[in-house]
Amino acid sequence: MRRLLLIYALVIVVAGPAAADDKHKGHAGTVAEKAYGLPGKAADVTRTIEVGMSDTMRYSPSEISVKRGETIRFVFRNTGKVEHEFVLGTAKELKAHADAMRKNPKMEHGLEANAVDVDAGKQGELVWRFTKAGTFTYGCLVPGHFEAGMVGKLVVN
């Protein structure tokens, strides 16, 4: 039993700093392809798009266009005084997740590869490869932010 506890403690110590560092980088783990693409690799980035996040519950820009096949580095700058998120998905996925967060505001949710949270006054990054054409949604799923209009449109041509 002691050995098991020691191994568990070692895993936490080793994984802890890496997990904490992921908070502002996005989460490019092994992920199945989504309707809107896959986590990208930094070496494949074709361009960078800066996205502002503010306490007016808006993104700037509120609409982004990319080409199918592009790998984009998103740089998020939170100019507000509260935490904000960027979650990329379909309108249906984001609405369902926002509804769940509103019903359970203390619910912990791990960020997926298509999401990044950014503390007040900080910045974060996410690299994404767009493999399919379509119109997708991005939003902040912090309770109340999505409903207040912190939503954007991403068009893949």
In a domain, 1, yes or no: no
Q: Phi and psi for 52 in degrees, rounded to 5?
A: -90, 145
| Whether pLDDT at 4 is above 90 | no
Mean pLDDT of the chain: 82
In a domain, 69, yes or no: yes
In a domain, 61, yes or no: yes
Q: Phi and psi for 64 in degrees, rounded to 5?
A: -130, 140
Residue 89 near residue 114 (C-beta atoms within 8 A) = yes
Report pTM.
Answer: 0.76
- Domains in the chain, number: 1
The amino acid sitting at 81 is K
- Whole-angstrom distance, CA of residue 105 vs CA of residue 132: 33
Q: What is the pLDDT of residue 10?
A: 32
Using DSSP's 3-state secondary structure scheme, residue 76 falls into: strand
Average pLDDT for 59-64: 98
In a domain, 109, yes or no: yes
- Whole-angstrom distance, CA of residue 20 vs CA of residue 135: 32
| Whether pLDDT at 45 is above 60 | yes
In a domain, 13, yes or no: no
Could you tell me the residue range of the domain that residue 60 belongs to?
25-156
Q: Within 13 Å, how many C-alpha atoms sit on residue 44's CB side?
A: 13
Could you report the per-residue pLDDT of 63-79, keeping only the tens digit for each? 999 999 999 999 999 99
In a domain, 16, yes or no: no
pLDDT band (50, 70, 90) for residue 107: low
In a domain, 116, yes or no: yes
| Whether pLDDT at 105 is above 80 | no
Helices and strands in the chain, H and E counts:
2, 10
pLDDT band (50, 70, 90) for residue 99: confident
In a domain, 66, yes or no: yes
**CATH code for the domain of 95:** 2.60.40.420
Question: What share of the chain has pLDDT > 90, as a percent?
Answer: 61
User: Residue 7 — left, alpha, or beta (φ > 0 → left; ψ -120 to 50 → alpha)?
Assistant: alpha
Q: What is the pLDDT of residue 117?
A: 92
Order of strands, edge to edge, in the sheet holding 123-129? 38-39, 123-129, 71-78, 47-54, 58-60
From the CA atom positions of the chain, what is the Rg in Å?
Answer: 17
Could you report the per-residue pLDDT of 14-44, keeping only the tens digit for each? 333 333 334 434 444 456 888 899 999 999 9
